[in-house]
Structure 1
Amino acid sequence: MRKSRMDFGRRLLVANFSAGHFLPIIFYLFVALPIHAGEKWTGFRSDGSGTVTADLPTRWSPDEGIAWQADIPGYGQSSPVVWGDHVYVTSSEGPWQQDCQVHAFDLQSGENLWTTHVEATTKVENYFRNSRAAPTCCVDESGVYSFFANGDVTAMTHAGKIRWSTPVIKTFGEVDNERGVASSLAQTETHLFVLVDHHGPSYLSSIDKRSGDVVWKADRGDRVPSWSSPVIAKTGKQAIVVTSSADTVDAYDAASGKRLWQLDGLQGNHIPSASVIGNRIFVGSTTMYGGATDEDAVAGSNCCIELTEDDGKLGYKVRWGAERANSYYSTPLAFAGYVYYVNKVGVLYCVNQESGDQVFAKRIGNPCWASAVGVTKPDGEQLVYFVLKNGFTIVLRPGNEYDQVARNQLYDASAMMDARETAEKQRKANTVPADQAKPKSGPEKVFAGMPESQLHQMFSYGDPMVYGVAVARDRLLIRTGQTLFCVGQQPKGVAK
């Protein structure tokens, strides 16, 4: 196994050298410090690092430590984002997900402040294995920016008033992706970035935050369908859009859309996104049905890339490929000198951040669909929070051994049964009539005739499922398909 990992790593290094990217390293350190949780959580994994400074609780249960929980209309798979006292999440309803919704909740009380409806410009089947409001919003001082599987990017004020809406997929053509679009938005101060990779003309596009105009569109050719999200890196004053998707990692100039470099030869980076810490990019990959099957190549594709610069030309260097790591749905977390990956059966892999050597592997009981968060407390203590798909949270102290601080339950059996019943009723109400549903394509074609109950068992579906998390004002926000939970001290006078 070790030899295979090293062979794959050598192939990547040879590719770098051949492409002229094996360059002298000049460090252009950009912001690597975690943002303060009291201010904001601005997008998917906040700033793309998944790290934060906060005084989060380490222990809670269904009866203690939950400040509030709020029902979310419809169904959604996106993560929360936060600006000030506003928490934003998305959902969708209707057989074709034609009713797209953005919700604002009060961080202190959980009160639903407003819901704004966006009428979809394209149809996406409301099917439990499809993307259902999966892309995570971006938020800034001007408001919140949403993106849905139907391809509409919409800007709203913090009061929920629509400023503009841009129909990206309607403009650039129908998407052939058997599970729908799930890539979240990335942002700079002035622009949003949308990634669409599918069996057809794929692209990365830039949208002006003020007007909603498409500034540039970078064509990516026909691709393997992918659901990972772009992330922003910076070298000096230059912003770079990094995409880890469909078997390559690409870097684009955020201002012009020019591709700066591409690393190919990867396998399995269709779901996990890249993490950016300092001048390092950490790539996540996984084995999946109908996709990558070479386990050694997939493990090596969980790699570390270093940004380089030579005489003004930006490039990269592959530092290592992991030996056995596998990311499945969640994005790898680089934190406190280690990189953490969780595979599809709930095995946590920890590797050394500098060398990629495995430190330990430990079964933690369930996979993570939400990405882990690295937390630095005010007193300097560092902890990692893994919120598992089944609602349990593992709190881990970073180190060379598995050091579990706590294992916390979010909801009890009764709440789980209620959530399951509610989700089942909603699925039935939103079922597309059989004579109107499009034929399934790709791997989904194999499952088209199977009963839903069998598919739930095969792929471990079953509500409630945790899809995303955020941290704000020393509180942990956890989102299932139809509920938003807030873990933290309950304010006086606020009913749970």
Structure 2
Amino acid sequence: MNQQTWQIGSIVSMGCRSLGCFIGIGLGIGLGLWAMSPGYSQSQWPGFRGDGSGITQSDVPTRWSVDQGIAWSVDLPGYGQSAPVCWHDAVYVTSSDGPFQEQQHVHAFDLPTGKRRWTKPIDASMKVENYFRNSRAAPTCVVDESGVYSFFPSGDVTAMTHAGDVRWTMPLIQQESGGQIDNERGVASSLAQTASHVFVLVDHHGPSYLVALNKSDGQVAWKADRGDRLPSWSSPVIAHRGHRDLVITSSADTVDAYDAVTGESLWQLDGLQGNHIPSASVVGDRIFVGSTTMYGGATDENATAGANCCIELTTDDGKPGYRVRWRAERANSYYSTPLAFAGYVYYVNKVGVLYCIDQETGQQRFAKRIGNPCWASAVGVTNSAGESLVYFVLKNGFTVVLRPGDQYDQVARNRLWDREAMMEAKAAAEQQRSANLVPADQAKPKTGPEKVFAGMPERQLHQMFSYDDPTVYGVAVAGNRLLIRTGQRLYCVGPAEPISKP
């Protein structure tokens, strides 16, 4: 592969803030990253959806194809559903392998070239069945100047240096839940972070909680009990009110705010429906909530649409509060988190319909079928020419690039793989599933909605739920590169040149 010049563009402060599976804001260097406004250093994408907003500044290409514009791609051992994270010229991503996901790994790659820097194992403290409808290395890491912090469905939280040396490991679910989790799909919530803590959300049919762990040593700083909850896989996000950081959780039919330092419960909005998978977006003083209909849970599309809403953070007599600014009338999410960007909020539902909502009023501007659902969350990009663009990376590997506006304005539709590559990925995923088949006498009985599907042929289930591979699970933007993660592969879209597979 030809070596490409790696340039970090200018950093522009855009004056709004948030963090949540984190919003990096302003120019973010070191510990000040998550306390500034969107537009942190272009070479940093420190967590799920960057800083939690999904917004950045970059000259990511708008057009590419199977043969041009893909800087590199690499195989990932095992399987994973987490998104990549970036810190300067390093990319981090996780995967798992083995019948009970006993082989857990954190991988580091060189951003300019795709060369693997290191792969480090994490011992699983709890068995999690390696089943295609379960979480498989789904939680996304966070990264700061000290290193990378990972979380796996086994409940293990680990801090590593940028060189891959383990600083500490915390078997969170073993310690806080006695190893018992009643969640039919497994744990999938990504980490959130402030300068001093990482935050883990565990909602299930049982004692649920939000935990803050010290970044320095992995010890529990505080734990907020949340009672028995419906299973949920959404991730916490950080908001800022003056000098105070808030942890926002949109999960299991409520939105809650906690003090990030003490864990104090500050307020709760209840009566929602379907906010079990999409996480909240925080942009400035606004929280944008995503909800979806789902089997065994929220089924009323109208009620679920109203739970796709905008909440404004307020302060009353010095105390944090909120008010609901609007509720959507028709919009519904699915796996992906809503994107609030350039005056609009974008939701993609389970059949691939894109809803564009006015960010101030909640009124629908358009609805358009874009061909496939998004399991990866959309990204809003402002380039060096001042142009705003939205990138929807669809589950099937196509990327739709739009200009924000009242009408659907498509700039490009780009393909990531061809039929040959798709068939190779299908075969590799099927081989991985066969190798990790749990012996019948060791498999736990299915519970909840999964009980209905027990005994059905896997191929039939794949067809019913569109779980076939290759599937795009997560994206990241760093420098002028777009990183796209499937279950077993990591792609880097950059200045056009032939694909290289280090």
TM-score, normalized by the shorter chain, greater than 0.5:
yes
Shift of the alpha carbon at 1:33?
A: 3.9
Work out whether residues 242 and 252 of structure 1, in 8 Å CA contact, stay in contact via their aligned partners in 2.
Answer: yes
1:269 to 265, 272, 275: 275
* Aligned equivalent of 1:6: none
Q: 2: CA distance between counterparts of 1:309 and 1:199?
A: 33
Q: 1: CA distance between counterparts of 2:495 and 2:112?
A: 10
Work out whether residues 105 and 114 of structure 1, in 8 Å CA contact, stay in contact via their aligned partners in 2.
Answer: yes
* Aligned equivalent of 2:163: 159
* Aligned equivalent of 1:45: 49
| Cα displacement string for residues 371-415 of structure 1 (whole angstroms, at most 9, x for unaligned residues) | 000000111100000000000000000000000000000000000
The DSSP-based 3-state class of the residue aligned with 1:426 is helix
Q: 1: CA distance between counterparts of 2:501 and 2:314?
A: 53
Q: Does 1:138 align with 2:138?
A: no
* Aligned equivalent of 2:217: 211
Relative to 1, partners in 2 of residues 1:141 and 1:32: Cα closer, same or farther, differing over 3 Å?
closer
Q: 2: CA distance between counterparts of 1:150 and 1:348?
A: 34
Q: Does 1:477 align with 2:487?
A: no
Q: 2: CA distance between counterparts of 1:73 and 1:31?
A: 35
Q: 1: CA distance between counterparts of 2:117 and 2:498?
A: 19
2:130 to 126, 141, 159: 126
Q: 1: CA distance between counterparts of 2:405 and 2:55?
A: 17
1:329 to 325, 330, 335: 335
| Cα displacement string for residues 52-91 of structure 1 (whole angstroms, at most 9, x for unaligned residues) | 0000100000100000000111100000000011100000
Work out whether residues 37 and 474 of structure 1, in 8 Å CA contact, stay in contact via their aligned partners in 2.
Answer: no
Relative to 1, partners in 2 of residues 1:394 and 1:58: Cα closer, same or farther, differing over 3 Å?
same
Work out whether residues 36 and 54 of structure 1, in 8 Å CA contact, stay in contact via their aligned partners in 2.
Answer: no
Task: Calculate the TM-score normalised by the size of structure 2.
Answer: 0.92
Q: 2: CA distance between counterparts of 1:62 and 1:362?
A: 25
The DSSP-based 3-state class of the residue aligned with 2:459 is helix
1:54 to 44, 55, 58: 58
Work out whether residues 231 and 241 of structure 1, in 8 Å CA contact, stay in contact via their aligned partners in 2.
Answer: yes
For 1:74-223, list aligned pairs within 5 A.
74-173=78-177, 174-223=180-229
1:416 to 402, 419, 422: 422
| Cα displacement string for residues 334-385 of structure 1 (whole angstroms, at most 9, x for unaligned residues) | 0000000000000000000000000000000000000000000111100000
Relative to 1, partners in 2 of residues 1:385 and 1:493: Cα closer, same or farther, differing over 3 Å?
closer
| Cα displacement string for residues 80-121 of structure 1 (whole angstroms, at most 9, x for unaligned residues) | 000011100000011000111000010011011100000100
1:373 to 363, 370, 379: 379
Shift of the alpha carbon at 1:279?
A: 0.1
Shift of the alpha carbon at 1:296?
A: 1.1
- Segments of 5+ residues of structure 2 without an aligned counterpart are 1-33
Shift of the alpha carbon at 1:472?
A: 0.4
Q: 1: CA distance between counterparts of 2:63 and 2:495?
A: 11
1:284 to 254, 279, 290: 290
The DSSP-based 3-state class of the residue aligned with 1:454 is helix
Q: Which amino acid aligns with 1:96?
A: F
Q: 2: CA distance between counterparts of 1:155 and 1:223?
A: 28
The DSSP-based 3-state class of the residue aligned with 1:103 is strand
Shift of the alpha carbon at 1:294?
A: 1.4
For 1:390-409, list aligned pairs within 5 A.
390-409=396-415
Q: 2: CA distance between counterparts of 1:181 and 1:51?
A: 26
- Identical counterparts, % of pairs: 73
* Aligned equivalent of 1:72: 76
Q: 2: CA distance between counterparts of 1:118 and 1:422?
A: 23
* Aligned equivalent of 1:446: 452
Runs of 4+ in 1 over 2 A off after TM superposition: 30-39, 490-496
* Aligned equivalent of 2:4: none
Relative to 1, partners in 2 of residues 1:66 and 1:345: Cα closer, same or farther, differing over 3 Å?
same
* Aligned equivalent of 1:16: none
Q: Which amino acid aligns with 2:477?
A: V
The DSSP-based 3-state class of the residue aligned with 2:385 is coil
1:230 to 236, 243, 248: 236
Q: 1: CA distance between counterparts of 2:473 and 2:39?
A: 22
Q: 2: CA distance between counterparts of 1:77 and 1:343?
A: 19
Q: Which amino acid aligns with 2:78?
A: G
Relative to 1, partners in 2 of residues 1:241 and 1:71: Cα closer, same or farther, differing over 3 Å?
same
The DSSP-based 3-state class of the residue aligned with 1:35 is coil
The DSSP-based 3-state class of the residue aligned with 2:163 is coil
The DSSP-based 3-state class of the residue aligned with 1:125 is coil
Relative to 1, partners in 2 of residues 1:64 and 1:223: Cα closer, same or farther, differing over 3 Å?
same
Q: Which amino acid aligns with 1:276?
A: V
